[in-house]
A and B are shown apart, each in its own frame.
Chain A
Amino acid sequence: MEILTNGVGLSAVVFFPLVSALVITLIPKSQEFLIKGFALVSSIITFVFSALLLLEFDFSSADKLQLGNKISWIKSINANYEIGIDGISLPLLVLSTFITVLAIIYSIEHLPEPKSPKGFLALILVLETGMNGTFVALDLILFFVFFEIVLLPMYFMIGIWGDRTVRTVAGFKNQIETRLYASIKFFVFTLFGSAFMLLGFLGLYYRGNKTFSIPELIELGSAGAFTGTFATLVFAVLFLGFAVKVPMWPLHTWLPDAHTAAPTVGSVLLAAILLKLGSYGFVRIAIPILPEQAKAWAPAIAILSAIGIIYGSLACLAQTDLKRLIAFSSVGHMGFVMLGIASLTPIGINAAMIGMVAHGVITGLLFFLSGSMAHTYHTRDMGRLGGNMKLLPKTGALLGFTAMASLGLPGLAGFWGEFMALLGAYNPLDGLNVTVFRTSMVAGAIGTVLTAGYLLWMLQRVNLGEPSEEWMDKELHDADAYELAAWIPLVILTILIGVFPKLIFGATNDAVIAMLSKAFGG
């Protein structure tokens, strides 16, 4: 269908949620049913759009940007509305529309305090516009705008619907509610990165014939247009912008706070999609446009990733808070993604791509489960939980399954990303320091053991054993229909990707190979 191939379909995936969000703000507050129904339907329509694009997508030329368009946007600075998808962005785009549907299904019955579905659902939809837009944007300025659009909704989601526990935070005189501290910390960290990233974009613009077009800049970059101190500086600021979002150690400190404080759905979207915006930025922008600098920085990125993996898993072992544990596990998992990217090999970057999707699915599910358990038990303290299998058999079973997936059990989605990232690091791109990468690989391998360790330990404390007295007389609700409707698709996806990784590689492989051969030749 022409409407799908000429960019209209792709634009619809981006802007339909935004339009729906505006419509929702016009529905009176009292019509809760209408608000929820409308939000659900529009997220499903968006997902259907993206599924149609999936059908229309030509997988035999997945290395080319497709289904896009380019129209003039801001003439005076030569920024265009240029969009398109290839094998790298397609899986992430579909993941984003899919997870949003699940998030809205879950929110229908499980709105955090202070309820107010109108604002909450509208924010989710605005967030979706930002996420989808980032994955399809092929113009640096457009990318920047979408990259930033996600900040406001997430800030308000954490700040209004977040965790109200009062705690003492270093640097604040008085005690402060977790949500208030976490929301501004999230915002400031990310903005700090992206403000500098914008300077980097401008640098590329001035050295690159005054264009913001990513494909054109990639052509220039692979022809060696960006060199010397200039290119090093630009890569440094792009690194800053993306690494904060990933987040890479030592820029990760906002993540545990944001995840712990965010409402369940907020954590899910944050883990499943927002973190990917950073690693996607490396694959889409930083590496292909500045290949030589990427090569120079790769060992540093590998070392930071390895530290991230070890640090993340050690930090997990020290947690008592279930949600915080999962948050730190994200640091570790994204470390594997970045290690794969740093190897600059097809196998490594494919690993990163599947790792991103798998982490989105698995950690998304983990946050759903932990959020639901926190809601049921009114605590996330693992010391008080226990015997979950007996109290909430459905949730407990799912938690067991997801933890296994998260620790990289072969046959489930988490396995491929970790295993192949290590393979990539064993044999990085020619010319990279093999010792550094193999050391990182060993660190990563130790990380997988630690990961298994903390996840099993978590299961033992939460799921197994006898329930404590505390819960005996209480009526605890196991997963209801809405929760299962949101979770089961993720379980199925975890198994599917685990058994048929080709679902992802089929799309990404050609695109990754084409990107790398353009950047590094051969």
Chain B
Amino acid sequence: MILDLILPRRSKYYVAAFALLGTLFSLAPLVVQWVNYTNPIYAFEDSFVVDKFSIIFKGLFILITYLTFLLSINFIESDKYYQGEYYYLLLSSLLGALIVSSSRDLLTIFIGIELASTPMFLLSGWKKGDRKSNEGAIKFFLLGVLSASLILYGFSLLYGLTGKIVFSEISTFIINGALQSSPVLLLSAILVISGLGFKISIVPFHSWAPDTYEGAPLPVTAYLSVSSKATGFVALIILLTKVFSSAGESWGVILAIIAGLTMTLGNLVALQQSNPVRLLAYSSIAQAGFILAPLAVAGITGNFQDGIFASVTYLIIYAFMNLGAFLSVQLFSNHAGSTNFYEWGGIAKKSPITGVLTTIFFFSLAGIPPLGGWFAKFVVFRSMLSTGEPIGLTLGIVGAVNAVIALVYYARISKVIWMDELKDVDSENSFQFESPLKVVGVFTVLITFISGIFPGIFSYLGEVSSIFFGN
């Protein structure tokens, strides 16, 4: 019932194993909760809730963290960094994410958001000797603090307007007081969207992402682009639907424009990248646009169920295929010793399995059936067109064009690794594919395929969370 707080001991050699086991065990109470679920359970005077939405996301966050640990084991050991602190910080961030998914008042959600992101400032600067890492971390830190202050400012306006901190009371107060069109409410919504916009890296708050992603250790980058992004989106979904839903029409339009810009800009810049991590950074910006779009349409039409269904389904599928993509980048860049993927010519011949994995993940990100990404894109298009709103239609067309643009750079990696000539044919350098990474690979590939061929399972999760979260 109660979230288990895992504090790993600092004993150097057991930390990794302990963290892995601890994360895995923390899934157990979730399963019990899911099976015995009847009604949402509220705690701490309605500020903390356990419903299916939160259970699903807790499960997702824990799984992502687990996979990140697996990605990290060899990486951290090989570089003699501070292992204990590394796992400790990641787990703190996980705790923050878990709190966010259950929070129902302004203070809890803020603490959750900050607890989730503060450790990441440290982790992104983990490669201390590396100037890029330092640069990325500083940027991330400064913008992170700015975003925190924006969120706080938004919250304080909200508190000033209503005098309440629990979401249900705030929205009742707004409706009773007919404050839906109050400019203060809209300003507060804009501030919160901007603040969270940094966390989910949407245009124009995205500029930190490529630098930070490039500088951070790869597993941390994977975590940033998946878990941190999901945390931001969960917070955004909760706030938009539970607090600002009544002012949906005004922020919906703003979000729709942002979503369109985010997709387009992310994709166009990604076309120019030669560093696979920066490419994935811009791709994840573009993907954020796709996740955001259904929420925007939901705000305009008031049909939150469809919107949340699409965003949640997208987030879940995206999380695993993106982790997989980072896994393959980690494998190939370790082997090639180069962070310019144009130098990876023909590398797939050295390890066809990794080549196939890379192809699967990148084409899944591009949304090609039968890989999971197609269904994620599909539900997003579905929610865009759900009511025939002109804005939804426009977003649909922008999205369709973007899907094609994105294909060009996703396919480019496959082209390089399979179709270009292998350069150092005689290189002795054998291919390293450690077993923890194999676990990640198998797990993410399975999910990518299952979500593409039997999307029912994942759309069920999306559907459940939208129903329990609906109006």
Contact = CB atoms under 8 A, between A and B. Distances in A.
Interface of A: 72-77, 141, 144-146, 148-149, 151-152, 155-156, 159-160, 179-180, 183-184, 187-188, 191-192, 195-196, 198-199, 202-203, 205-206, 230
B379 A77 contact: yes
A147 to B, nearest CB: 8
B404 A198 contact: no
Contacts of A180: 415, 419
Contact of B385 (A146, A183, A184, A199): A199
Contacts of B403: 191, 195
| Centre residue among A183, A184, A191 by max chain B CB count within 10 A | A191
A202 B415 contact: no
Contacts of A179: 419
A206 to B, nearest CB: 6
Interface in B444-466: 454-456, 459-460, 462-463
Contacts of A72: 456
Nearest to A179: B419
Given A145-B369, A149-B370, A187-B407, A206 B388 contact: yes
Contact of A184 (B386, B397, B411, B460): B411
B400 interface: yes
A198 B400 CA distance: 9
A188 B369 contact: no
Contact of B368 (A148, A188, A192, A205): A148
Given A76-B459, A198-B378, A144 B369 contact: yes
Given A144-B369, A180-B415, A192-B404, A198 B309 contact: no
A118 to B, nearest CB: 9
B382 interface: yes
Given A196-B400, A198-B378, 16 more contacts: A74-B375, A76-B459, A77-B379, A148-B368, A149-B369, A156-B418, A160-B419, A179-B419, A183-B419, A184-B408, A188-B404, A195-B400, A196-B397, A202-B385, A203-B385, A206-B386
Given A159-B418, A195-B403, A76 B368 contact: no
A199 B382 CA distance: 8
Query: Chain B contact residues: over half helix, strand or loop, or mixed?
Result: helix
Contact of B418 (A74, A160, A192): A160
- Of B374, B379, B396, B404, chain A has the most CB atoms within 10 Å of the CB of B404
A143 to B, nearest CB: 11
A75 B459 CA distance: 8
A179 B418 CA distance: 12
Contacts of A195: 400-401, 403-404
Given A76-B459, A76-B460, A188-B408, A152 B415 contact: no
A93 B454 CA distance: 25
B37 to A, nearest CB: 19
A154 B378 CA distance: 23
B370 A145 contact: yes
A196 to B, nearest CB: 5
Contacts of B455: 74
Contacts of A198: 378, 381, 400
B155 interface: no
B121 interface: no
Contacts of B407: 187-188, 191
B86 interface: no
Contacts of A141: 378
Contacts of A184: 408, 411-412, 415
17 contacts: A72-B456, A74-B456, A74-B459, A75-B459, A76-B462, A77-B378, A145-B374, A148-B369, A148-B374, A149-B369, A180-B415, A184-B411, A188-B404, A198-B378, A198-B400, A202-B385, A230-B388
Contacts of B363: 152
Contact of A199 (B400, B419, B456, B463): B400
Interface string B207-251: 000000000000000000000000000000000000000000000
A127 B414 CA distance: 18
Nearest to A73: B456
Interface in B161-198: none
Interface string B333-364: 00000000000000000000000000000010
Contacts of A192: 404
Interface string B125-139: 000000000000000
A271 B415 CA distance: 24
Given A76-B463, A145-B369, A199 B396 contact: yes
Contact of A155 (B379, B397, B404, B411): B411
Nearest first, the 3 closest Cβ-Cβ pairs linking A and B are: A195-B400, A145-B369, A76-B459
B111 to A, nearest CB: 34
A74 B419 CA distance: 36
B415 A159 contact: yes
B369 A75 contact: no
Nearest to B459: A76
A145 B463 CA distance: 22
Contacts of B401: 195
Contacts of B419: 159-160, 179-180, 183
A244 B319 CA distance: 33
B172 to A, nearest CB: 31
Contacts of B378: 77, 141, 198
Nearest to B397: A199
B378 to A, nearest CB: 7
A183 B419 CA distance: 11
Nearest to A159: B419
A151 B414 CA distance: 14
Contacts of A146: 369
A196 B381 CA distance: 10
A121 to B, nearest CB: 15
Nearest to A114: B349
A77 B418 contact: no
B400 A152 contact: no
A144 B381 CA distance: 14
A337 B467 CA distance: 49
Given A74-B456, A76-B460, A202 B382 contact: yes
B370 to A, nearest CB: 6
Contacts of A149: 369-370
B346 to A, nearest CB: 10
Interface string B397-432: 100110110011001101100110000000000000
A173 to B, nearest CB: 14
A382 to B, nearest CB: 28
A203 B378 CA distance: 13
Contacts of A156: 414, 418
Nearest to B416: A180
Given A159-B419, A187-B411, A206 B404 contact: no
B368 A151 contact: yes
B381 A76 contact: no
Nearest to B313: A76
Interface string B302-338: 0000000100000000000000000000000000000
